[in-house]
Amino acid sequence: MRKSTGPGLLGGRTDTGDISPSRLTGNGSGERRAELERGSGPNSQKRRTAPIRRLSILGATGSVGTSTLQLVDHTRDVFEIVALTANTNVEKLAQLAIKYKAELAVIADERQYGELRALLSETGIEAAAGPSGLIEAALRPADCIMAAIMGAAGLQPTLAAISQGSRLALANKECLVCAGDLFMQAVATAGTELLPVDSEHSAAFQALQGAQSCEISRITLTASGGPFRTSTLDELRAATPEQALKHPNWSMGRKITIDSATMMNKGLELIEAYHLFPVRIDQLDVVIHPQSIVHCLVDYIDGSVLAQLASPDMCTPIAYSLSWPARMSSPTASLDLVKIGALTFEAPDYAHFPALRVAKEALQRGGAAPLVLNAANEIAVDAFLCKKLGFLEIAQLVADMLEQADRRNMLSAPAELDQVLALDSEIRQLARGLLGQYG
Ligand SMILES: NC(=O)c1ccc[n+]([C@@H]2O[C@H](COP(=O)([O-])OP(=O)(O)OC[C@H]3O[C@@H](n4cnc5c(N)ncnc54)[C@H](OP(=O)(O)O)[C@@H]3O)[C@@H](O)[C@H]2O)c1
């Protein structure tokens, strides 16, 4: 199993091979070194010259899906919408499919297939449902597929999208967290152009353009600190879903908003960055930056630090994922640094944000630990939103699940997708069982 060199950042370079073996896979040193020397990041072999036209969106009804369609509106007639998918929000899906003249609309919840068909009758838009429908949407020929399903549920459709060998704009970070090595191997095999959509990873991607891996000394992801940055531990213990859902800077889906409040999101992003970029774990860092203006900083060996700044609006990283290597206009408000006045930075407090510590430990542990972390976190966040778990108990449950999985010898790296899916399902079941011990 290899760790890829990331989304073509370093294509064509000669590398000095300064990257240590992947601690996640425990092997691949020689393979990876050779890969780095070849400059064989997925995009290095294949760079499209034609602009993206045909666009599919997996998770079209969500926050990233909506921002993507906002860009489609903004650019007018640039994009043709191929396939759109949703989980349960059948009315919004049908409205979007009609508005954007999609070829195919897919509802993951099979019980709503009849309603989708009825809503799309006489429009000429094809309807499909269920897991096979999601795969059909992912496989429908497109220049770019936006992977914006929430959670590990996006893994199979996203892998299907990768197999097209065109461009994948990746928002669904949980895919990389739960199956990073398999995922990156699939990207390399298919020759897919993988473009990060997460704002921090898009920022890193931008700051790394033209870099050689031996020149990079550190990648620092910024984090706003969320709504509880200055809360006391007692306040965190009593935090409600309503309070946690009030993110100070970003408007996002519910799960990622809770992940931002616990800072599990930053932990997932560290794992995502580890798979995307050619750095060791100890070269990845997190800094709290409450204004969410600087999205990532890349330190180079000569002391230079390149950062990307933008107003906190997902339209910017989404635009870059669609237009790279060119740039396109987006509706993001232009940045007024004089108005903002001050940009501040703080070290993260791990006592306040135990989820970040647990995620870093899972990254260090490697094997199936990130998968276990992600599956337990999805269960814990859902339970918190349903008021069955306290805010600080989210990280506690995830840590307990990792400990239990270790005791049961469940942390070896899954070699195949089937093993990933089976383990993911088993961990979810165990985590649901653990829930009974809380509250
Ligand atoms: N929002 C952001 O600003 C942001 C930034 C960076 C990265 N991301 C990442 O992007 C992904 C999407 O985030 P989001 O905030 O857009 O989430 P969201 O608003 O909750 O939207 C999720 C989308 O996925 C669909 N979906 C949910 N569960 C599904 C399932 N089991 N099967 C098939 N489809 C399913 C939803 O359909 P329904 O509408 O029918 O439920 C919706 O279209 C996440 O991985 C997140 O970490 C988001």
The pLDDT score that the predictor gives to residue 250 is 85
The finding on whether 90 has its CB within 6 A of some atom of ligand 1 is no
Three-class SS state of 255: helix
| DSSP one-letter code for 324 | T
| Order of strands, sheet of 305-309, starting from the edge strand that comes earlier in the sequence | 284-288, 216-223, 294-300, 305-309
Residues facing 128 on adjacent strands:
106
The finding on whether 250 has its CB within 6 A of some atom of ligand 1 is yes
The pLDDT score that the predictor gives to residue 51 is 87
Give the amino acid at 368: A
The finding on whether 198 has its CB within 6 A of some atom of ligand 1 is yes
| Order of strands, sheet of 126-129, starting from the edge strand that comes earlier in the sequence | 126-129, 104-107, 80-86, 54-58, 144-147, 167-170, 193-196
The pLDDT score that the predictor gives to residue 190 is 98
Residue 36 in contact with residue 18, Cβ under 8 Å? no
Tell how strand 54-58 and strand 80-86 pair up: parallel
- Residue 6 is encoded by which pair of tokens? 């990331």
The pLDDT score that the predictor gives to residue 262 is 98
Q: Which atom of ligand 1 is nearest to the CA of 61?
A: 43
Q: Whose CA is nearest to atom 1 of ligand 1?
A: 252
The finding on whether 173 has its CB within 6 A of some atom of ligand 1 is yes
Task: State how far the Cα of 395 lies from the Cα of 376, in Å rounded to an integer.
Answer: 9
Percent of the chain's residues with pLDDT above 70: 89
Span 16-55, pLDDT tens digits: 333 222 222 222 333 433 343 333 333 444 556 678 899 9
Residue 205 in contact with residue 296, Cβ under 8 Å? no
Task: State how far the Cα of 171 lies from the Cα of 150, in Å rounded to an integer.
Answer: 9
Distance from the CA of 260 to the center of ligand 1, in angstroms?
Answer: 14
Q: What is the mean pLDDT of the chain?
A: 90
Distance from the CA of 88 to the center of ligand 1, in angstroms?
Answer: 12
Q: Which has the closest alpha carbon to 362: 331, 334, 395?
A: 395
The finding on whether 88 has its CB within 6 A of some atom of ligand 1 is yes
Q: Whose CA is nearest to atom 33 of ligand 1?
A: 87
The pLDDT score that the predictor gives to residue 50 is 79
The finding on whether 323 has its CB within 6 A of some atom of ligand 1 is no
Task: State how far the Cα of 174 lies from the Cα of 310, in Å rounded to an integer.
Answer: 24
- Residue 126 is encoded by which pair of tokens? 């094809």
Span 213-237, pLDDT tens digits: 999 999 999 999 999 999 999 999 9
What are the residues whose beta carbons fall under 8 Å from the beta carbon of 263, sequence distance 6 or more?
223, 225, 226, 348, 353, 355, 356
Q: Which has the closest alpha carbon to 179: 425, 398, 367, 378?
A: 367
- Residue 359 is encoded by which pair of tokens? 């995620």
Instruction: Tell me which H or E stretch contains 67.
Output: helix 63-75
- Residue 132 is encoded by which pair of tokens? 């096979």
Three-class SS state of 119: helix
Task: State how far the Cα of 369 lies from the Cα of 403, in Å rounded to an integer.
Answer: 10
The pLDDT score that the predictor gives to residue 48 is 60
The finding on whether 256 has its CB within 6 A of some atom of ligand 1 is yes
The finding on whether 314 has its CB within 6 A of some atom of ligand 1 is yes
Q: Which residues of 216-233 are buried (b: 16+ CB within 10 A; e: fewer)?
A: beebbbbbbbbbbbebee
Distance from the CA of 354 to the center of ligand 1, in angstroms?
Answer: 24
Please give the domain boundaries of the chain with CATH numbers for all domains: 227-262+349-439 (1.10.1740.10)
- 334 Cα distance to chain centroid: 25
Choosing from 56, 58, 63 the residue with most ligand 1 atoms within 8 A of its CB, the one to mutate for a pocket test is 63
The finding on whether 313 has its CB within 6 A of some atom of ligand 1 is no
Q: Which has the closest alpha carbon to 231: 262, 253, 255, 256?
A: 262
Residue 174 in contact with residue 267, Cβ under 8 Å? no
Give the amino acid at 162: I
The finding on whether 292 has its CB within 6 A of some atom of ligand 1 is no
Per-residue pLDDT of the chain (439 residues; tens, 9 = 90+): 334 444 444 222 223 333 222 222 222 333 433 343 333 333 444 556 678 899 999 999 999 999 999 999 999 889 999 999 999 999 999 999 999 999 999 999 999 999 999 999 999 999 999 999 999 999 999 999 999 999 999 999 999 999 999 999 999 999 999 999 999 999 999 999 999 999 999 999 999 999 999 999 999 999 999 999 999 999 999 999 999 999 888 889 999 999 999 999 999 999 999 999 999 999 999 999 999 999 999 999 999 999 999 999 999 999 999 999 999 999 999 999 999 999 999 999 999 999 999 999 999 999 999 999 999 999 999 999 999 999 999 999 999 999 999 999 999 999 999 999 999 999 999 999 999 998 7
Q: Whose CA is nearest to atom 15 of ligand 1?
A: 253
Q: Locate tokens 């489609």: which residue?
A: 72
The pLDDT score that the predictor gives to residue 322 is 97
The torsion of the CA quartet 369, 379, 224, 289, rounded to 10 degrees, works out to: -20
The finding on whether 315 has its CB within 6 A of some atom of ligand 1 is no
Whole-model pTM: value is 0.92
